[in-house]
Structure 1
Amino acid sequence: MRTSDLPRAGGALLALGSLLPLAAAAELELRPYAEARAYYDSNVYSFSGRDEALARNGDDQLSDRVMRGLAGLQADYGFSRQSLGLTAEGRRLIYDHFSQLDHNEHLVALAYKGRYGEDVSSRLYASQERRMASFADRDTTALTLERERLGGGELGFAPGDDWRVELGARVRRLLSPLPGLPDFTLAENGATAGLRYVDGGPASFGLATEYLKGRFDGTPDQTRFDQYTAQLDARYEISGLTRMNGRLGYTRRNERNSARADVSTVTGSIGVQRNLSGVTSVELNAFRNVESYLVGAQSVIDTGVRAALNWQRSLVTVSTGVQWHRSDFQIEPRREDRITQAFFHVNLAPRRWLDVQPFVDYRNRSSNIASERYHGVVAGLGLRVQFGGAEVAR
């Protein structure tokens, strides 16, 4: 599927939504929303220190105060056992000191979900987002706006009482200009297939496979890669109190470029969610994946763990946690990063239509390459209002 096909996919979703409900009652739900967020960023450019800031930016200041405003609309159109969803959002970011970074962003997303009888389900989706690229791995302090387009679909069906087949396909296009490479693009096309044994009990087991074909365009060395993954899949749930899911398998990535760097490694993930009480829950996750390192147009192996604690009452939700992961870059000279992240988020809902959201995020990256080290804190307050939710009969 080419990038130019994504608008057609969105149009197909809309056409599908207009044809299917002709013989069924339908309901339209509209939810406009807006958000204002003011926060302090202690290290806007992800510099290793004031000396690097002065050398690269001509200014030794690291921090800034940022205002972020957004307005959007969520619309859901339900008919029979199917639904169409639309999200459209515009954003504006304003920097107090680094005013050259002021910019606009947007997001548009479409999704279709459907069930056909008791054994068949499907999902289609398409989205486009325009956003500021992260400075964490860039050798420039100039504002870069990247565009990401996603599209794909999933189909699940049960050929027998105890088996379920899950198929999927996706396409991704990320245009993210780099210094001297204004047309730099990552393109990925993927397909997944899985077979799962489900007997109605608390456990299910299966096999999941994925094929991913990608390329980095707009570079002197047109890097191509083929990635194959096969994993055993297991899920377990006890009375809604404990949920476990895990995958364990193997990934091989074949690079096709002048500096060939094939990757073969064990990959997978495991996650546990446990409700400690009616208001408190914990989450524990571990993962190992092969990803695309955008700036280097190469592969990176990410290995990490995450722990989170959630506490929720009728008007207050508190989420806090920490994540650590290591990134092993498959390039020369070898680079290894260790990243520690922590967060503390609160959501207060004094009114049904109003959320008050104080938050603190911390990030620290150590590396065997001194210039890639940095740490920073982002802390602030957000106000979100959302209206609607009433169903409009059609």
Structure 2
Amino acid sequence: MEGNASLSNAIGESGLKQAELAEAVNDFLCANGVEGTVSDRTVRNWLTGKTRWPHPRQREALEAVFGCTAEELGFSPPTERPTIEPETSVRRRNFLASTAVVAAAPILDSRPTSVGTSDVIRLRSGLDALTALDASRGGHEDLERSALAGAEEALDKVRQAASQRIRQRLYSVAANYLSTAAWAAIDGRQLGRAQHRLDRALYLAGMAKDPVVELRVWNSYAMLAHQRDSLTDAVDAGYAAQATTIARRDPFYASLAHARTAVAHATLGDRQATIRSLGYAEEALGKATDDETRPSWVGFYGFAELTAMTAIARDRIGDSAEAEAASHRALSGIPKPFKRNRALAAARLALTQVHQRELDPACRSASEVFGLMSGHPIPGRMRSLLGDFYRDLITLAPDASIAREWGDRYRSEWSRA
């Protein structure tokens, strides 16, 4: 029996799991006055090809969820195709039309509409686009504004949701948009705005019962606390991330939480705790499995990013040679689309080198930052890091001509915002 590859691909692209697709179909059916009886087994029958042409109402729901025809989803009608009930066809057209009107111009029609999984999928795709933009050029005000608009749209749709499950997903999407806005503010060193966004995002994560976005918020809290020199708060935020349900269940997220805690320990100067947390992070990541359903925001994390965070922690506890080696490994492993992270790793490499009084290599490494960020403003967090580099450079070698030359050459690029 041949499986349904088209449906499988559509499910994969949407980020839904089989159980979630069953719920989405049932949500649509219930919103149209029909009892939803679709189960995991029903979905498996669709995927394996055992059911080649679902019931008309189920086809209608599938088409509404994915925004395409049943045939495009890989289903084939029998030789003599059953006649679709006229009222069912009309109801489907009305549902799709109302969804389009809500998305394009909600102010034009005040009639009640039903918001379902297709709306959640569309909003999530907007998050993916913002994540890719952040990876390339870093946090900036346009990104922050776009993320806030996405959060507002998701929250506006909550009252129109077809079910509690859809409301929870909308809260999750809104929390992720607010987390994106907060991250843009952190990267731009707009700390007051970041705090406000994170507070709201944590509340919405609770409403959504979403441990992944909860961990995301605590991860950002740790970084914000570090920028504010609230070092014990950074450690506690790392521990809060470790305590989330997803970190206890999935070693991938546990690794990120331990790595963030290690950096916080290092900033406090706790060498033993730093090395212990780095060990936990590496061990957990070694146990993690590839999972394509993880959200795009966490796509930056892997062995290369863990190595970059190890370089930060090692440098802060005085292991500059080990930190330099880790920075080189990170730069060779961080994917090219993550330009901002590569630029940060180059700046960290420069710091490890200047701390060993390797002035020429340090200046060359710091100069690479501007090439990596060419065409884009330097985010505030990166400008601050370059400031740390230049301060250490002139402190350790105040009479070195290369130090003055670096400052004279790159001052204008360094300050571009």
* Superposition TM-score, scaled by structure 2 size: 0.19
**Structure ranking higher on relative contact order (CA contacts 8 Å, 6+ apart):** 1
* Superposition TM-score, scaled by structure 1 size: 0.20
More strand by share: 1
More helix by share: 2
Is the radius of gyration larger for structure 1 or structure 2? 2
